[in-house]
């Protein structure tokens, strides 16, 4: 008796889906017999100094380095154990393969053995974090075998487009709202900041060395999100807007000491004041920034950098929407 993968939707890439189907068809219909030494996620005591990590290293050694990195980053113990437990299952599947020999077929076998959608999602998160560590941080691998696999299929909606006159109306309406509204609207719509990034801004994150070209530093305290950090240049308009805000409000440190809901309500209020018929949200303002940058010539790689997005298939698919909307009319 053979089993089939649990019901989708699953990857958008049909080749990866066929890999999972084939892997499931070859596996017996029984619970996976996974033996992990010690507690879940453990893989033996670390004695002395770890050997150097290389492309031809064993998965066991790579897991040890991965665990050390997670612990140094202060990740929660339950998260570390969850990641390593799933990697122990992958180790059973791949056998004696070195980390540079692990391929998409091995990932498909790992995912196809999941009993439900949440387990599959957890396993994919674990291996994606692991191979992200190997390719992005320590750079011992050039390719990531998890590319092309997604937790489940989500159809990306076409972004709401804000035309130039609508953007101008939002800016004008924001001037008559709360003292902080104009700066916040400008940063989201002109520099593409997310709500989280907006609320994390402090006064020392704005570099005013060049009065007509202020630089906004977007930083993250969590080590896992350091890849999203970036510096984006404003212009003379923002320099004026920002100076007026400081004069009216004089925030001591955090520029916008509010919460997510306050941002949502402010954007909705300003949109209503501007008499826009479109639904405008912080994400719509970020879309407007991306589309405008694409119109100015930003390519796929540059849009990922400007938005602080990881270079993976899902995000590449996302920014391609902006490139399509920015293309000249037919």
Three-state SS annotation for 29-87: CCCCCCCCCCCCCCCCCCCCCCCCCCCCCEHHHHHHHHHHHHHHCCCCHHHHHHHHHHH
pLDDT of residue 47: 43
Examine the pLDDT at 118 and tell me if it is beyond 60.
Answer: yes
pLDDT tier at 37, thresholds 50, 70, 90? very low
Examine the pLDDT at 70 and tell me if it is beyond 70.
Answer: yes
* CA 200 from centroid of its chain's CA atoms: 17
pLDDT of residue 35: 36
Q: d(Cα 270, Cα 303) in Å, to the nearest integer? A: 27
pLDDT tier at 148, thresholds 50, 70, 90? confident
pLDDT tier at 294, thresholds 50, 70, 90? very high
The structural domains of the chain, with segments of one domain joined by +, span 14-137, 164-326
pLDDT of residue 155: 64
pLDDT of residue 223: 75
Lowest mean pLDDT across 35-39, 136-140, 280-284: 35-39
Residues 284, 159: contact at Cβ < 8 Å? yes
Summarised one tens digit per residue, pLDDT across range 25-36 is 666 544 333 333
pTM for the whole structure = 0.61
What fold, for 164-326?
hpI Integrase; Chain A (1.10.443)
Examine the pLDDT at 322 and tell me if it is beyond 50.
Answer: yes
DSSP state of 144: -
């Amino acid at each position: 008796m053979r089993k089939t993968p649990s019901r989708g939707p699953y990857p958008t890439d049909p080749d990866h889906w066929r890999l999972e189907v084939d892997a499931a068809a070859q596996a017996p219909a029984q619970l996976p017999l996974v033996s992990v030494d010690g507690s879940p996620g453990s893989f033996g005591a670390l004695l002395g100094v770890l050997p150097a990590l290389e492309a031809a290293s064993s998965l066991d050694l790579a897991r040890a380095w991965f665990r050390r990195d997670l612990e140094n980053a202060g990740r929660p113990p339950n998260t570390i154990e969850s990641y390593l437990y799933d990697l122990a299952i992958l180790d059973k599947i791949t056998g004696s393969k070195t980390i540079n020999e692990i391929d998409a077929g091995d990932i498909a076998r790992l995912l196809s053995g999941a009993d439900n959608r949440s387990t599959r999602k957890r396993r994919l998160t674990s291996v994606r974090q692991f191979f992200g560590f190997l390719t992005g941080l320590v750079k011992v691998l050039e390719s990531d075998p998890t590319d092309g696999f997604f937790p489940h299929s989500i159809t990306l909606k076409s972004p709401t487009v804000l035309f130039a006159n609508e953007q101008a109306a939002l800016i004008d309406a924001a001037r008559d709202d709360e003292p902080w509204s104009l700066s916040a609207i400008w940063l989201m719509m002109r520099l593409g900041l997310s709500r989280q990034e907006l609320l994390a801004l402090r006064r020392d994150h704005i570099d005013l060395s060049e009065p007509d070209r202020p630089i906004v530093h977007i930083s993250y305290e969590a080590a896992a999100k350091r890849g999203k950090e970036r510096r984006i240049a404003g212009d003379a308009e923002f320099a004026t807007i920002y100076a007026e805000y400081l004069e009216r409000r004089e925030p001591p440190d955090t520029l916008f000491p509010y919460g997510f809901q306050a941002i949502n309500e402010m954007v909705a209020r300003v949109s209503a004041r501007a008499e826009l018929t479109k639904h405008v949200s912080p994400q719509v303002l970020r879309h407007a920034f991306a589309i405008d940058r694409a119109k100015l010539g930003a390519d796929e790689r540059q849009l990922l950098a400007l938005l602080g997005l990881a270079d993976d298939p899902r995000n590449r698919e996302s920014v391609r929407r902006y490139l399509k909307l920015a293309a000249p009319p037919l």
